[in-house]
Amino acid sequence: MSAFNAIHGIVTRDLIRTTRQTSRLLGGVARPFMWLLLVGTGYNAIARVHGDLPYQVFVFPGIVVMAALFGSMLTAVSTVYDREFGMLRLMLASPVGPPAVLAGRSLAAVFVGMLQGGIVLIFAPLITPVSLEQMGAAAGALALCCMSSSVMGLVIAARLRSVENFAGVINVVLFPLLFVSGALYPTQTMPWLLRSLAQVNPVTYQVDLMRQAFSQPAEFSIEIDCLVIVVSALLLFGLACLLFDPEQRFIGRRVAQ
């Protein structure tokens, strides 16, 4: 029960913080639309994927995943801000311990990712014909994507020491995860090295699952997508718990946070 209360407190705080940082929230929503409209419209004129699928229709599931990925991951990475200003130590010093603290942070990140991804998803009928069932399936896929992305964000946050490193994270981690995932172009046509990387990238399975929700050609089965997303999220959550041990007894330098 006390873990539930702590998680509730952490989620409430993170959501209040998110709603009071409107520029960050709007930026998170604007980014996928910019890709969809500016890049998507341009490629739409010159590219057809999987036969005759217009590029904007093809890329839409990837753009929803992108919104979720950036929203969830950056919310989780804001843990770095808490470390820098001492709040993280206060949280880790609470009786509930690192797993409940990280569950709270992760859950808050899921909500933020779902909000940002959900806003993009609402515009699906403007891009492609979509049924209510497909929207429901896409919402479910979105929840799984956010869960996976949020724990990836926590793992990255465990090794970032200052908020200035955010830009580096976006360039070095987020964009490669997105580019090598099949979100913007099919993985089947990638060179073998990139395709191999795509197959160990959890975001690939998020995109694949989202494509299945929109009845687009997919590389893996739904079961494989869900299994990889859930198992990788659980493994990464376990890793995050070890990395966020206040004294880092298990992994990394033995320093107080």
Residues 39, 40, 46, 50, CA torsion sign:
positive
Number of residues binding to other proteins, judged by CB under 8 A: 32
249: contact with other proteins by CB under 8 A: yes
Q: Nearer to other proteins by C-beta: 36 or 91?
A: 91
Single residue of 26, 30, 38, 93 touching other proteins by CB under 8 A:
93
CB of 146 to other proteins, least distance (A): 22
Q: Nearer to other proteins by C-beta: 51 or 95?
A: 95
Q: Which pair of structure tokens corresponds to residue 168?
A: 């580096």
How far is C-alpha 82 from the geometric centre of its chain's CA atoms?
A: 20
Count of CB atoms situated within 10 Å of the CB of 23:
8
Q: Nearer to other proteins by C-beta: 97 or 186?
A: 97
Single residue of 57, 65, 74, 92 touching other proteins by CB under 8 A:
92
How many CA atoms within 13 Å lie on the side-chain side of 27? 8
Single residue of 30, 34, 38, 85 touching other proteins by CB under 8 A:
85
Q: Residue holding tokens 């908020």?
A: 163
Residues, the chain? 257
Contacts of 211 (CB under 8 A, 6+ apart): 61, 182, 217, 218
243: contact with other proteins by CB under 8 A: no
5: contact with other proteins by CB under 8 A: yes
Vertex 112, ends 222 and 159: CA angle to 5°? 90
The residue among 79, 102, 66, 14 whose CA lies nearest residue 174 is 66
* Per-residue CA distances from 82 to 66, 96, 169, 178 (Å): 25, 17, 17, 26
162: contact with other proteins by CB under 8 A: no
21: contact with other proteins by CB under 8 A: yes
46: contact with other proteins by CB under 8 A: no
Q: Is 78 exposed, middle or buried (0-12, 13-18, 19+ CB in 10 A)?
A: buried
Single residue of 16, 122, 172, 200 touching other proteins by CB under 8 A:
16
Single residue of 66, 77, 91, 209 touching other proteins by CB under 8 A:
91
Stretch binding other proteins (CB under 8 A), from 14-22, 41-49, 122-130, 193-201:
14-22
Stretch binding other proteins (CB under 8 A), from 50-58, 196-204, 207-215, 247-255:
247-255
Binding site for other proteins (CB under 8 A): 1-3, 5-6, 8-10, 12-13, 16-17, 20-21, 85-87, 89-97, 246-247, 249, 254-256
